[in-house]
């Protein structure tokens, strides 16, 4: 066979013959063999790089990953010679890879962030086999216990031990199209109960195929609620005080409260009186439903408010947040959706260092303030909430921003920004005074009357931030002040030669998003973890979808019976699984 190959034979007949004597299978197999040997040799001398860092942390959320990268650097500044490796791993991969790592007892990261629904599945089996460190003694020793929102420890606790630090509080509000609400004359502050909300919803909803819905009057729904999955249903169940499991891990998903909430929810999403559509809560479907005004409101936990700002940027200024309507007057105005824990694995050789890094990530007020601006996620550490970053007006939410340029006309001695500034074309002036507590900033109209005043800071990079209140804010139809708060973010260009100093940047106003979520944090209901939580959620999704289909077809006819039977059957499936578990 080899002899048939043309050219080489002509040029080096002797060499070829010698080769085929040693290797009689022909040229092609030889090439393959050589390639294999070369590749093998390469791999042998370039082994997969394994992390040699003192700590390895896995996180599944891209915003966390970016934030932790910075936080790691500040952490390492005070610990020379130490190293930390932060790795971004997909949410599903965290679960499966971590499970495999625990099984094989190899490549286990030192620290892992796990999503709330999945966390419980790692607390299965005998307590001594659980792969996470019991953090209870660490928390007690550090004195942090009293500053943490206690309900957030619940999902990560099992059999009296705390296996994870809570990353967040995740209070829930309703985000709504403020411009359309205003146009329709809906006053969000009056929608204090779900009854009132539904009443308005019935009035303004235009369903597909209904009289009055046409090209000029496209379909429109009051709220976006899932018809196929349980994630919006459970938010409302939690709001009423229901849950999938109780504190002892017993299944409660078929309680009377859950059944009642299920029926109430089905009537919102199905039948001729429905006020909810399901264009999806994520991705393209969700974005267009907000932009087109297809759904006027959606359930918005703190983390979702950031995805809204980023993914639906075109709606800046047109959106606003309101607390959830209560189930009864004076009742709970929030709920909770999602969560993340940080755990330290038993395999970690530097547990004390890991604990210090965990504290730095989760309980360092300066870190948390900066991260809140980037993620809108409210940390469960109360001491951090006093930072001004948590109370800034956010232009996206019912606000806006204007460019600002101030030119200094009368500098004060010895301070880069103190003095009198010409603040605008209309003759406004700004006066900045510096003292030991920081900066006092005040604005005056051309006639000398007060325009606004407040406090500010100037950092080492010449960035001036000030939060001020208007002296005479505009009022709305009800006489309530509208956006009395302003925030200046200005960059200083110092005086040079005859050029005066200039502060240029933006003035922003809008809802105080952080303040709003903080106001609801204490009402956030607990969620109980369980190894069977994800399974139970899957079963509940099935019930929600089935009830919706039934109600669309049959209305009230036999619905009470059907919904009870379906919920019972789903709970039975979960109990069957739980009974199989011998641990």
Partner 1 sequence: MATAKQRLRSGRAPYLFVLPFIVTFSIFGLYPIVKSLYLAFFVTAGPTSKTFAGLGNFTFLLSDPIFWKAARNTAVFALASVCLQLPLSLFLAVLLHERALRGRNAFRLAIFAPRLVGMVFVGVLFSLIFNARNGLLNVALEYFFGLPRTIEWLNQSSLIMPALILTALWMYVGFNMIYFLAALQAVDQTLYEAAMVDGANAWQRFWHVTLPGIKPVAVFVVVLSTIGSFQLFELPYIMLGNGPGPDDAGLTIVMYLYQNGFISGDLGYASTIGWTLAIGVLLLSLVQMRLSGTLKRGGGQ
Query: Of these, 151, 229, 232, 305, which contacts partner 1 (CB under 8 A)?
Result: 229
Task: Confirm or reject binding of residue 538 to partner 1 (CB under 8 A).
Answer: yes
Query: Of these, 7, 21, 47, 497, which contacts partner 1 (CB under 8 A)?
Result: 21
Query: Of these, 68, 233, 245, 532, which contacts partner 1 (CB under 8 A)?
Result: 532
Task: Confirm or reject binding of residue 307 to partner 1 (CB under 8 A).
Answer: no
Count of C-beta atoms within a 10 Å radius of residue 327: 17
Cα separation values, 567 from 164, 228, 254, 265, 544, Å: 31, 15, 6, 13, 9
Kindly indicate which of the ranges 166-174, 380-388, 458-466, 573-581 contains the residues binding partner 1, using the contact rule CB under 8 A.
573-581
Count of C-beta atoms within a 10 Å radius of residue 249: 17
The owner of tokens 């409302």 is 236
Is the CB of residue 417 less than 8 Å from the CB of residue 458?
A: yes
Query: Of these, 7, 77, 461, 583, which contacts partner 1 (CB under 8 A)?
Result: 583
Give the angle 388-389-391 at the CA atoms, nearest 5°. Answer: 65
Residue closer to partner 1, measured from CB, 528 or 537: 537
H/E run at residue 470? strand 463-470
Joined together, the tokens standing for residue 465 give 């931030």
Task: Confirm or reject binding of residue 209 to partner 1 (CB under 8 A).
Answer: yes
Q: How far apart are CA 465 and CA 488, in angstroms?
A: 6
Residue closer to partner 1, measured from CB, 40 or 481: 40
* Cβ 539 to partner 1 shortest distance, Å: 9
Residue closer to partner 1, measured from CB, 163 or 357: 163
Q: How far apart are CA 59 and CA 51, in angstroms?
A: 15
Residue closer to partner 1, measured from CB, 217 or 373: 217
Query: Of these, 65, 264, 327, 535, which contacts partner 1 (CB under 8 A)?
Result: 535
* Site track for partner 1 across 25-44, x = CB under 8 A: x---x------x--------
Task: Confirm or reject binding of residue 211 to partner 1 (CB under 8 A).
Answer: no
Joined together, the tokens standing for residue 119 give 């966390």
Kindly indicate which of the ranges 197-205, 237-245, 418-426, 575-583 contains the residues binding partner 1, using the contact rule CB under 8 A.
575-583
Residue closer to partner 1, measured from CB, 511 or 541: 541
Sequence-distant (≥ 6) Cβ neighbours of residue 167 within 8 angstroms: 64, 113, 339, 340, 341, 342, 362, 377, 379, 380
Kindly indicate which of the ranges 162-170, 350-358, 454-462, 537-545 contains the residues binding partner 1, using the contact rule CB under 8 A.
537-545
Task: Confirm or reject binding of residue 107 to partner 1 (CB under 8 A).
Answer: no
Residue closer to partner 1, measured from CB, 210 or 560: 210
Task: Confirm or reject binding of residue 228 to partner 1 (CB under 8 A).
Answer: yes
- Binding residues among 263-302 for partner 1 as defined by CB under 8 A: 278-280, 282, 284-285, 288-289, 294
Is the CB of residue 242 less than 8 Å from the CB of residue 255?
A: yes
* Site track for partner 1 across 350-389, x = CB under 8 A: ----------------------------------------
Count of C-beta atoms within a 10 Å radius of residue 51: 14
End-to-end CA distance of the chain: 65
H/E run at residue 137? helix 136-142
Strands across the sheet containing 295-301: 276-277, 221-224, 295-301, 172-177, 319-323
Residue closer to partner 1, measured from CB, 149 or 570: 570
* Site track for partner 1 across 540-569, x = CB under 8 A: -xx--xx--x--------------------
Residue closer to partner 1, measured from CB, 95 or 401: 95
Residue closer to partner 1, measured from CB, 129 or 199: 129
* Cβ 443 to partner 1 shortest distance, Å: 47
Closest Cα to residue 491, out of 467, 458, 444, 468? 458
Q: How far apart are CA 531 and CA 125, in angstroms?
A: 10
DSSP-assigned beta bridge partners for residue 493: 502
Count of C-beta atoms within a 10 Å radius of residue 143: 8
Joined together, the tokens standing for residue 379 give 């940390």
Strand 161-162 to 157-158 pairing: antiparallel
* Cβ 260 to partner 1 shortest distance, Å: 22
- Binding residues among 117-156 for partner 1 as defined by CB under 8 A: 118, 121-122, 124-126, 129-131
Strand 55-59 to 111-115 pairing: parallel
Q: How far apart are CA 564 and CA 328, in angstroms?
A: 23
* Cβ 23 to partner 1 shortest distance, Å: 9
* Cβ 174 to partner 1 shortest distance, Å: 21
Residue closer to partner 1, measured from CB, 160 or 582: 582
Query: Of these, 79, 82, 99, 391, which contacts partner 1 (CB under 8 A)?
Result: 99
Kindly indicate which of the ranges 45-53, 80-88, 116-124, 334-342 contains the residues binding partner 1, using the contact rule CB under 8 A.
116-124
Residue closer to partner 1, measured from CB, 21 or 496: 21
Cα separation values, 338 from 118, 145, 299, 304, 385, Å: 11, 21, 12, 10, 20
- Binding residues among 412-451 for partner 1 as defined by CB under 8 A: none
Q: How far apart are CA 63 and CA 476, in angstroms?
A: 37
- Binding residues among 167-186 for partner 1 as defined by CB under 8 A: none
The owner of tokens 């949410």 is 91
Q: How many amino acids of this chain bind partner 1 (CB under 8 A)? A: 51
Q: How many CA atoms lie within 13 A of 423 on its CB side?
A: 20
* Cβ 270 to partner 1 shortest distance, Å: 12
Task: Confirm or reject binding of residue 92 to partner 1 (CB under 8 A).
Answer: yes
**Sign of the C-alpha dihedral computed for residues 174, 175, 180 and 183 taken in this order:** positive
* Residues of the shown chain interacting with partner 1 in the complex, contacts defined by CB under 8 A: 21, 24-25, 29, 36, 92, 95-96, 99, 102-103, 105, 118, 121-122, 124-126, 129-131, 208-209, 227-229, 278-280, 282, 284-285, 288-289, 294, 531-532, 534-535, 538, 541-542, 545-546, 549, 573, 577, 580-583
């Amino acid at each position: 066979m080899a002899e048939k190959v043309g050219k080489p034979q002509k040029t080096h007949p002797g060499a070829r013959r010698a080769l085929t004597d040693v290797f009689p299978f022909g040229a092609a197999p030889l090439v393959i063999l050589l390639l294999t040997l070369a590749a093998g040799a390469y791999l042998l001398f370039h082994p997969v790089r394994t992390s040699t860092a003192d700590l390895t942390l896995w996180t599944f959320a891209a915003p966390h990953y970016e934030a932790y990268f910075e936080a790691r650097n500040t952490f390492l500044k005070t610990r020379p010679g130490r190293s930390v490796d932060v790795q971004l791993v997909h949410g599903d991969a965290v679960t499966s890879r971590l499970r495999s790592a625990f099984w094989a007892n190899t490549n286990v990261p030192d620290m892992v962030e796990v999503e709330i629904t999945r966390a419980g599945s790692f607390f299965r089996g005998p307590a001594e086999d659980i792969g996470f460190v019991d953090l209870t003694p660490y928390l007690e020793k550090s004195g942090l216990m009293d500053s943490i929102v206690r309900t957030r420890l619940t999902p990560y606790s099992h059999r009296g031990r705390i296996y994870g630090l809570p990353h967040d509080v995740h209070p829930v509000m309703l985000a709504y199209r403020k411009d359309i609400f205003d146009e329709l004359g809906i006053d969000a502050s009056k929608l204090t109960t779900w009854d009132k909300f539904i009443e308005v919803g019935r009035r303004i909803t235009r369903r597909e195929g209904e009289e009055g819905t046409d090209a000029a009057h496209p379909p429109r729904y009051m709220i976006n609620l899932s018809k196929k999955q349980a994630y919006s249903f459970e938010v409302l169940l939690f709001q009423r005080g229901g849950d999938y499991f109780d504190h002892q891990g017993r299944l409660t998903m078929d309680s009377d409260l859950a059944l009642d909430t299920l029926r109430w929810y089905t009537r919102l999403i199905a039948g001729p009186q429905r006020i909810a559509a399901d264009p999806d809560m994520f991705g393209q479907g969700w974005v267009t439903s907000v932009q087109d005004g297809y759904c006027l409101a959606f359930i918005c936990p703190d983390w979702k408010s950031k995805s809204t700002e980023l993914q639906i940027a075109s709606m800046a200024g047109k959106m606003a947040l309101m607390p959830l309507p209560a189930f009864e007057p004076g009742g709970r105005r929030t709920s909770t959706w999602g969560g993340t824990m940080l755990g330290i694995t038993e395999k970690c050789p530097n547990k004390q260092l890991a604990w210090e890094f965990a504290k730095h990530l989760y309980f360092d007020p300066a870190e948390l303030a900066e991260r809140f601006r980037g993620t809108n996620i409210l940390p469960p550490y109360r001491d951090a909430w006093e930072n001004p970053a948590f109370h800034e007006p956010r232009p996206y939410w019912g606000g806006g921003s204007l460019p600002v340029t101030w030119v200094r006309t009368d500098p004060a001695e010895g301070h880069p920004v103190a003095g009198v500034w010409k603040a605008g074309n209309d003759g406004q002036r700004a006066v900045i005074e510096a003292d030991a507590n920081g900066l006092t900033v005040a604005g005056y109209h051309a006639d000398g009357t007060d325009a606004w005043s407040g406090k500010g800071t100037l950092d080492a990079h010449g960035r001036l931030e000030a939060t001020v209140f208007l002296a005479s804010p505009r009022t709305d139809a009800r006489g309530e002040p509208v956006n009395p708060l302003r925030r200046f973010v200005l960059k200083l260009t110092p005086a040079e030669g005859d050029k005066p100093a200039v502060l240029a940047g933006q003035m922003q106003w809008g809802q105080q998003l952080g303040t709003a979520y903080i106001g609801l944090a204490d009402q956030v209901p607990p969620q109980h973890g369980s190894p069977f939580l994800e399974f139970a959620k899957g079963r509940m999704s099935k019930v929600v979808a089935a009830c919706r289909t039934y109600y669309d077809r049959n209305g009230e006819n036999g619905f009470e019976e059907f919904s009870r039977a379906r919920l019972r059957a789903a709970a039975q499936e979960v109990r069957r699984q739980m009974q199989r578990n011998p641990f």
